[in-house]
Amino acid sequence: MPENDKINVLLIGSGGREHALAWKLFQSKRLGICFATPGNPGIFDYCSPSSVNPNDHDEVIEFCLINHIGLVVVGPEQPLVDGLADRLIEAQIPVFGPSMEAAKLEGSKEYAKAFMQQFEIPTAAFRTFSLADRHAIESYAQELGHPVVLKADGLAAGKGVIISSSPEETTQALDRFELDSSLQDAASRIVVEEFMEGEEASVFVLSDGHSTQILQPAQDHKRIGEGDTGPNTGGMGAYCPAPVITPELMERIDREIIQPSITGMQVRGCPYTGVLYVGLMITKEGPKVVEYNCRFGDPECQCLMPTIESDLLEILLATTNETLDQVVIHLNDDAVCCVVLAAEGYPGSYRKGMEIQGVPSQRQTASESILIFQAGTRMEDNQLVTSGGRVLNIVGRGETLQKAVNLAYEGVSRVSFPHRVYRNDIAQKGLQRKY
């Protein structure tokens, strides 16, 4: 391949999701230089560090022009909600990720629920309120009947959803939204919705604004404790494919949810490009949308990347130039399980700077059955140490889900850091269904 056919990439993000994307992008024959910001030590095994500030859009554009960036891959949601994709498109720099208007599907729960209502996409009954109107919120919660779900309208790092099982808990939840400084901005408006019974699953859809391609369905484990107990987190583990979503059910999800969502964004004049993460509840009445996200899930992305046989860079480029229908995405039959190792105290306060042992220093190959994707890590005096709540993602893959689970926990036994916490029941729902 001629050198001028190579594509330089800027990868934005610093978590396990971005490490998995860097690992997969590195396998592309078309990849030139992959820069990453802010990155982490694992990402830098595949990418060159960049000091560009992803929140400074002018600085990002200048960096891209100087370094001949042919694609910007935005991992987290905040830059997309802030309109980075719009600015890059204005500068004629290809970007994988939706516009600011399309990213409202994640950036505003109120916007997303109104969108679903307009286009008759199945979801829970709901109403939205100002947080100041506590009496109306509490009255509507009583009308729905407990349990109910209270959601901060804006971005809250996965911590803006509270399930209330009684009027007293509703009052406590509203107190938390008012008093927690990390939630106040996101929770100025509150979505109150009925509690849906069923099993959750995640579907990831690549879209170029018109055409779509669906990746493997996955299942996340949000709560910190085994048996889905304790507070919500950014995700303590995941696995794919999720057997709760059969091929027949996937056809229904595509027909009733995915296609109306993509068409609805076209009708609203903001075609959706990038990956649309559809969080679902599989209820007795059928699949219903819990939430949309405008990026790959974390840790679901760490499970999805090993299932893609095709060139990821080619796929992402196709979403930016409306040629996704011309790309055949080959998915393997592997089952994949990811176990998150977190710092004790997460999702509350936790220590940083603890030494991590057992993480290989060399690049991981495409064929390895156990992969380690770094998240909350940094280098300190040539030693890998913890720097976040979710520290490492241990991924196992095999011919069966049971083998993938076994390999993931074998990987867990190989690494260590003081006071680590993790769940021992990742993928158990899938195993119960599959065997």
Q: What are phi and psi of 113, to 5 degrees?
A: -70, -40
User: In this structure, are 316 and 391 located in the same domain?
Assistant: yes
pLDDT for residue 1 is more than 50: no
Identify the domain containing residue 316 by its residue range.
Answer: 199-434
pLDDT for residue 264 is more than 70: yes
Q: Kindly indicate the confidence band of residue 4, based on its pLDDT and cuts at 50, 70 and 90.
A: low
User: In this structure, are 364 and 408 located in the same domain?
Assistant: yes
- Region 234-243 average pLDDT: 96
pLDDT at residue 180, as a whole number: 86
Instruction: Decide if 304 is inside a domain.
Output: yes
Number of structural domains (the chain) is: 3
155 near 81, Cβ under 8 Å?
yes
Instruction: Decide if 113 is inside a domain.
Output: no
pLDDT at residue 231, as a whole number: 86
**Final residue of a structural domain among 194, 219, 254:** 194
**Final residue of a structural domain among 194, 211, 234:** 194
Weakest mean pLDDT among 95-99, 212-216, 387-391, 429-433: 429-433
> Running DSSP on this structure, what letter comes out for residue 258?
I
Instruction: Decide if 237 is inside a domain.
Output: yes
pLDDT at residue 362, as a whole number: 87
Residue that the structure tokens 């993928």 belong to: 427
Joined tokens for residue 223: 């709560």
User: In this structure, are 365 and 219 located in the same domain?
Assistant: yes
User: In this structure, are 308 and 333 located in the same domain?
Assistant: yes
pLDDT at residue 185, as a whole number: 86
User: In this structure, are 274 and 366 located in the same domain?
Assistant: yes
342 near 422, Cβ under 8 Å?
yes
By C-alpha distance, which of 72, 25, 27 is closest to 50? 72
- Could you read off the pLDDT of 118-174 as tens digits, one per residue? 999 999 999 999 999 999 999 999 999 999 999 999 988 767 889 999 999 999 999
User: In this structure, are 377 and 275 located in the same domain?
Assistant: yes
User: In this structure, are 334 and 422 located in the same domain?
Assistant: yes
Q: Kindly indicate the confidence band of residue 183, based on its pLDDT and cuts at 50, 70 and 90.
A: confident
Instruction: Decide if 268 is inside a domain.
Output: yes
Residue that the structure tokens 């509703």 belong to: 170
User: In this structure, are 400 and 340 located in the same domain?
Assistant: yes
Instruction: Decide if 117 is inside a domain.
Output: no
By C-alpha distance, which of 123, 18, 77 is closest to 277? 77
Question: How far is residue 119's CA from residue 112's CA, in Å, rounded to a whole number?
Answer: 11
Task: Give Cα separations from 397 to 2, 163, 309, 407, 435 (angstroms).
Answer: 35, 33, 14, 7, 17
pTM for the full predicted model: 0.95
What DSSP letter does each residue of 272-310 carry, written as one string? -EEEEEEEEEEETTEEEEEEEESS--TTHHHHHGGGB-S
Question: How far is residue 70's CA from residue 122's CA, in Å, rounded to a whole number?
Answer: 38
Joined tokens for residue 239: 């696995």
Q: Kindly indicate the confidence band of residue 2, based on its pLDDT and cuts at 50, 70 and 90.
A: very low
> Running DSSP on this structure, what letter comes out for residue 28?
-
434 near 401, Cβ under 8 Å?
yes
Contacts of 84 (CB under 8 A, 6+ apart): 12, 54, 57, 60, 72, 74, 95, 97
Percent pLDDT > 90 in the chain is: 93
**Final residue of a structural domain among 99, 116, 147:** 99
Amino acid at 139: S
Instruction: Decide if 115 is inside a domain.
Output: no
Instruction: Decide if 75 is inside a domain.
Output: yes
pLDDT for residue 48 is more than 70: yes
**CATH code: domain of residue 379:** 3.30.470.20
372 near 394, Cβ under 8 Å?
yes
Contacts of 82 (CB under 8 A, 6+ apart): 55, 57, 100
User: In this structure, are 351 and 219 located in the same domain?
Assistant: yes
- Could you read off the pLDDT of 383-420 as tens digits, one per residue? 999 999 999 999 999 999 999 999 999 999 999 999 99
pLDDT for residue 361 is more than 60: yes
**pLDDT, mean over the chain:** 95
**CATH code: domain of residue 84:** 3.40.50.20
**CATH code: domain of residue 164:** 3.30.1490.20
User: In this structure, are 182 and 216 located in the same domain?
Assistant: no
User: In this structure, are 76 and 151 located in the same domain?
Assistant: no
Task: Give Cα separations from 87 to 95, 100, 192, 323, 393 (angstroms).
Answer: 10, 10, 34, 22, 32
- Cβ-in-10-Å burial (0-12, 13-18, 19+) of 255 comes to exposed
User: In this structure, are 255 and 397 located in the same domain?
Assistant: yes
Instruction: Decide if 62 is inside a domain.
Output: yes
pLDDT for residue 372 is more than 80: yes
| DSSP-assigned beta bridge partners for residue 96 | 73
Strands (E), 122-184: 126-130, 148-152, 161-164
Question: How far is residue 174's CA from residue 139's CA, in Å, rounded to a whole number?
Answer: 13
Determine what percent of the chain falls in helix, strand and coil, rounding each to the nearest 5: 30, 30, 40
pLDDT for residue 3 is more than 80: no
